[in-house]
């Protein structure tokens, strides 16, 4: 007889806890059900992970479960397995990981009763002659299917309360939502695919009933999205559902609009812009098969979807797919595992695939498909490198750039400038002693902002008034150092007074609608200048832009992160993809003091794949991913010494003889300060491990985690492990 319940909770601990069933006679909660338990002095939501009839602890030491919250498991079995796999692969405490799979409301113990109700017509021709209002409602209901939910009710301008009299008379009854089989239901006809698109479509759709990882590399505007839409249509025609992941909520809206334009099928969007309640609702609907197409950001990969037939990951190279805090999973990689388990195809799309994915396609693990031409007849852009060593530069704008901009604007075109630094200047420096103003909590430069005027730490959000004298030497010679988008905007307004300048960054788009307003003006097509951060480079179409400018390529070239060149190359290609999207040819301009840098020359002369080839050679020579696997232990502490001593101890454990098999080819670096050595008063120290074998590295990390958990200091300090890190601390 099973009398013990093994339960995980979101406690940050790797432990499984044992409880007794509730004292009443109710059936044992099944594996995957939520239970409420008392834990320490609080009550927590836990998940049952196992039943057993043996327990090492004396029964009188065990507590009973307080309440069973679900009568059936919340996650379908494949997703439960996927969650367990991800917890294990990313070596994250199972309780935290599994609860992370659920919408926030359910993690908090909210009940899983459907928020949206469904009704069924019971009577066929009721006698309602004496109740004209009810008769009218009854008439209206005839236009709906026999089973209808609140959304359909709303579509005929009725609400649940209007149905009350009919419900009381038993003419209609509450019921479960209908399980429908998807079928393609087109609102508009698909475009005629060009030969390249057709070839890709044919190859992928031919293999629609088995796992394969397809990598679609298509230049911006080559019609990748059209291929997605037609593959989704194919999937729906097979009676299956499709899941599309995008990196950002901004891109969700654009794709959502295109999906809605094409399909009449029910579509569910899951992203961070939803309230917890809306998210729960969408999750529940998806779980019941009420959505045929599910579109979402990172965490949508864990959405339950019955009869899933296709996964698409758009902009697969984007860092946003990696969760950088807490449960540090990579949604693209989890998506591949999900597709593998379900034996269905997965399509990764990008103009600039990650080096990992390109390498996987070289090794034939992924099937590579290419779209090399712009669909719809737009012409492709060219490059020009602006060598900053040979000319005057004013607030980040070179003489050459200024001349080009004058020409383009006078010809009636638009110009776009990309600078990944908001604010006026990245630091405020004393001209007398050279010191910059630093954040008291992070030790890094405070960014100078003019609108509103203040110093702002972009790492911990600390704000302070602008200092007019130096706190070290008291001289009153403070000067902004370097340029952010505000400063460029100011300079552009000075140089081009006749043209509007639109600044698009997090500061100018904070208010709802302000981005939409600016985009509307830009789309009217009058000559103007756009200056913005990465936000600009992603997804937006600017058909009137003929010149796209990378204002400062060098900040990435000298970054310590080994992925910086890859990110720069992707940013250059994405930004230049904004130019010349309609019939106007576009040019991308790159301002740099490093005009001969191989990253820049290979990219501009031979294209992204040549750059990627070169960069992969570097990575291979230095045994960096994808030629080795990486893991990063990070300890954060108020005392730097405490963080160091814990990681030094950990590093010493690596030489334990029982780990010899796993540590032979190991490289380890540290303990050393993280890229961001201090943030919000916490010192950040890391230990970086690299190994050519994933299995050995996994084994080693598992053992080290186990050791760390035993160490008394690990309870006092914050520590984490990042498997396949995308950022080095």
Binding site for ligand ADP (CB under 6 A): 191-194, 197, 218, 220-226, 375-376
- The strand pairing partners of 9, in sequence order, are 46
Of 192 and 364, which CB lies nearer to ligand ADP in the complex structure? Answer: 192
Asked whether 31 and 94 are in contact (CB, 8 A), the reply is no
Of 95 and 349, which CB lies nearer to ligand ADP in the complex structure? Answer: 349
Of 220 and 429, which CB lies nearer to ligand ADP in the complex structure? Answer: 220
Single out the residue of 720, 724, 700 nearest to residue 630, CA to CA.
724
Instruction: Report in angstroms how near the CB of residue 543 gets to ligand ADP at its nearest.
Output: 9
Stretch that binds Zn ion, among 440-448, 513-521, 641-649, 659-667 (CB under 5 A): 440-448
Of 229 and 308, which CB lies nearer to ligand ADP in the complex structure? Answer: 229
What are the two backbone dihedrals, phi and then psi, of residue 41, each rounded to the nearest 5 degrees? Answer: -100, 5
What's the CA gap between 153 and 601, in Å, rounded? 60
Instruction: Report in angstroms how near the CB of residue 219 gets to ligand ADP at its nearest.
Output: 7
What's the CA gap between 17 and 674, in Å, rounded? 34
- When asked if residue 459 is in the footprint of Zn ion (CB under 5 A), the reply is yes
Residue 95 CA from chain centroid, whole number: 22
Picked from Zn ion, ligand ADP, none, the partner binding residue 610 (CB below 5 to 8 A depending on kind) is none
Chain positions 622 to 661 lying near Zn ion, rule: CB under 5 A, are none
**Could you give the C-alpha distances from 368 to 346, 350, 373, 595, in angstroms and in order?**
12, 11, 16, 32
Instruction: Report in angstroms how near the CB of residue 374 gets to Zn ion at its nearest.
Output: 44
Q: Which of 249, 441, 519, 642 binds Zn ion (CB under 5 A)?
A: 441
Instruction: Report in angstroms how near the CB of residue 260 gets to ligand ADP at its nearest.
Output: 15
What's the CA gap between 38 and 188, in Å, rounded? 55
- When asked if residue 460 is in the footprint of Zn ion (CB under 5 A), the reply is yes
What's the CA gap between 354 and 557, in Å, rounded? 18
**Could you give the C-alpha distances from 607 to 219, 465, 601, 604, in angstroms and in order?**
11, 46, 9, 6
Of 442 and 545, which CB lies nearer to Zn ion in the complex structure? Answer: 442
**Could you give the C-alpha distances from 708 to 504, 635, 648, 652, in angstroms and in order?**
45, 11, 12, 12
What tokens were used for 499?
Answer: 């043209």
Q: Is 286 exposed, middle or buried (0-12, 13-18, 19+ CB in 10 A)?
A: buried
Of 222 and 429, which CB lies nearer to Zn ion in the complex structure? Answer: 429
Of 347 and 551, which CB lies nearer to ligand ADP in the complex structure? Answer: 347
User: What string marks each residue from 461 to 500 as x (binds Zn ion by CB under 5 A) or -?
Assistant: -x--------------------------------------
- When asked if residue 458 is in the footprint of Zn ion (CB under 5 A), the reply is no
**For the chain, counts of helices (H) and of strands (E):** 23, 32
Q: Count of CB atoms within 10 A of residue 560's CB?
A: 7
- When asked if residue 676 is in the footprint of Zn ion (CB under 5 A), the reply is no
Report the residue count for the chain: 729
Picked from Zn ion, ligand ADP, none, the partner binding residue 459 (CB below 5 to 8 A depending on kind) is Zn ion
Instruction: Report in angstroms how near the CB of residue 542 gets to ligand ADP at its nearest.
Output: 13
Of 117 and 459, which CB lies nearer to Zn ion in the complex structure? Answer: 459
User: What string marks each residue from 400 to 439 as x (binds Zn ion by CB under 5 A) or -?
Assistant: ---------------------------------------x
Of 252 and 594, which CB lies nearer to ligand ADP in the complex structure? Answer: 252
Stretch that binds Zn ion, among 6-14, 161-169, 453-461, 711-719 (CB under 5 A): 453-461
Cα R_g (the chain), whole angstroms: 29
Chain positions 322 to 361 lying near Zn ion, rule: CB under 5 A, are none
Residues touching Zn ion: how many (CB under 5 A)? 7
What's the CA gap between 147 and 140, in Å, rounded? 14
Instruction: Report in angstroms how near the CB of residue 371 gets to ligand ADP at its nearest.
Output: 7
Instruction: Report in angstroms how near the CB of residue 533 gets to Zn ion at its nearest.
Output: 19
């Amino acid at each position: 007889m099973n009398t013990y319940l093994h339960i995980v909770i979101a406690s940050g601990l790797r432990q499984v806890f044992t409880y007794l069933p509730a004292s009443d006679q109710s059936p044992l909660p099944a594996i995957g059900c939520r239970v409420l338990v008392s834990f320490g002095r609080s009550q927590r939501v836990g998940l049952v992970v196992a039943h057993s009839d043996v327990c090492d602890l004396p029964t009188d030491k065990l507590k009973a479960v307080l309440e069973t919250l679900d009568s059936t498991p919340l996650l379908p079995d494949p997703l439960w397995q996927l969650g367990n796999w991800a917890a294990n692969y990313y070596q994250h405490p199972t309780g935290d990981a599994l609860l992370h799979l659920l919408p926030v409301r359910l993690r908090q113990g909210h009940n899983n009763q459907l928020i949206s109700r469904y009704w069924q017509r019971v009577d066929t021709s009721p006698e309602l002659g004496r109740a004209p209002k009810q008769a009218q409602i009854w008439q209206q209901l005839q236009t709906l299917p026999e089973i209808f939910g609140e959304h359909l009710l709303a579509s005929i301008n009725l609400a649940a309360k209007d149905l009350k009299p009919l419900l009381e008379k038993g003419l209609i009854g509450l019921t479960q939502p209908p399980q429908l089989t998807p079928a393609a239901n087109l609102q508009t006809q698909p475009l005629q695919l060009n030969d390249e698109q057709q070839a890709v479509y044919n190859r992928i759709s031919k293999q629609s009933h088995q796992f394969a990882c397809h990598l679609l590399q298509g230049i911006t505007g080559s019609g990748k999205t059209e291929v997605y839409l037609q593959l989704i249509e194919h999937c729906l025609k097979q009676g299956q559902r499709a899941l599309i992941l995008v990196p950002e909520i901004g891109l969700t809206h654009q794709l959502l609009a295109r999906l809605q334009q094409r399909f009449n099928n029910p579509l569910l969007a899951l992203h961070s812009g939803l309230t917890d309640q809306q998210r729960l609702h969408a999750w529940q609907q998806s779980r019941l098969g009420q959505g045929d197409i599910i579109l979402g950001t990172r965490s949508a990969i864990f959405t339950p979807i019955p009869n899933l037939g296709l996964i698409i990951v758009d902009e697969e190279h984007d860092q946003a797919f990696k969760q950088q805090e807490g449960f540090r999973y990579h949604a693209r990689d989890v998506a591949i595992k999900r597709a593998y388990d379900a034996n269905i195809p997965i399509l990764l799309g990008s103009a600039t695939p990650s080096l990992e994915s390109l390498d996987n396609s070289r090794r034939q693990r992924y099937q590579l498909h290419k779209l090399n031409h712009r669909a719809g007849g737009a012409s492709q852009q060219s490059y020009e490198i602006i060598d900053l060593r040979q000319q005057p530069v004013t607030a980040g704008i070179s003489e050459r750039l200024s001349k080009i901009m004058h020409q383009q604007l006078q010809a009636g075109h638009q110009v776009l400038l990309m600078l990944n630094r908001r604010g006026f200047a990245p630091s405020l420096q004393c001209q007398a002693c050279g010191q910059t103003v630093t954040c008291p909590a992070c030790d890094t430069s405070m960014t100078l902002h003019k609108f509103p005027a203040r110093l702002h730490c972009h790492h911990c959000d600390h704000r302070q008034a602008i200092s007019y004298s130096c706190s070290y030497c008291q001289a009153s010679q403070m000067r902004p150092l370097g340029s952010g988008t505000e400063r460029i905007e100011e300079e552009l307004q000075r140089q081009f007074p006749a043209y509007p300048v639109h600044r698009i960054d997090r500061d100018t788009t904070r208010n709802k609608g302000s981005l939409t307003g600016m985009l509307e003006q830009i789309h009217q097509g009058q000559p103007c200048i756009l200056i913005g951060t990465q936000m600009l480079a992603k997804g937006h179409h600017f058909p009137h832009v003929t010149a796209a400018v990378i204002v400062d390529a060098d900040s990435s070239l000298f970054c310590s992160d080994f992925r910086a060149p890859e990110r720069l190359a992707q940013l250059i290609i994405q930004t230049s993809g904004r130019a010349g999207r309609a019939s106007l040819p576009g040019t991308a301009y790159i301002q740099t003091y490093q005009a001969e840098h191989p990253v820049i020359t290979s990219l501009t002369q031979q294209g992204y794949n040549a750059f990627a080839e070169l960069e992969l050679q570097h990575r291979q020579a230095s045994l960096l991913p994808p030629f080795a696997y990486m893991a990063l232990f990070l300890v954060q502490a108020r005392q730097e010494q405490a963080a160091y001593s814990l990681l030094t101890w950990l590093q010493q454990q690596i030489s334990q003889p029982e780990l010899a098999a796993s540590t032979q080819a190991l490289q380890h670096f540290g303990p050393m300060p993280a890229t961001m050595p201090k943030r919000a008063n916490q010192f950040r120290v890391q230990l970086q491990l690299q190994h050519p074998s994933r299995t050995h590295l996994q084994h080693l990390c598992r053992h080290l985690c186990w050791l760390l958990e035993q160490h008394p200091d690990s309870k006092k300090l914050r520590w984490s492990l990042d498997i396949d890190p995308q950022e080095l601390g």
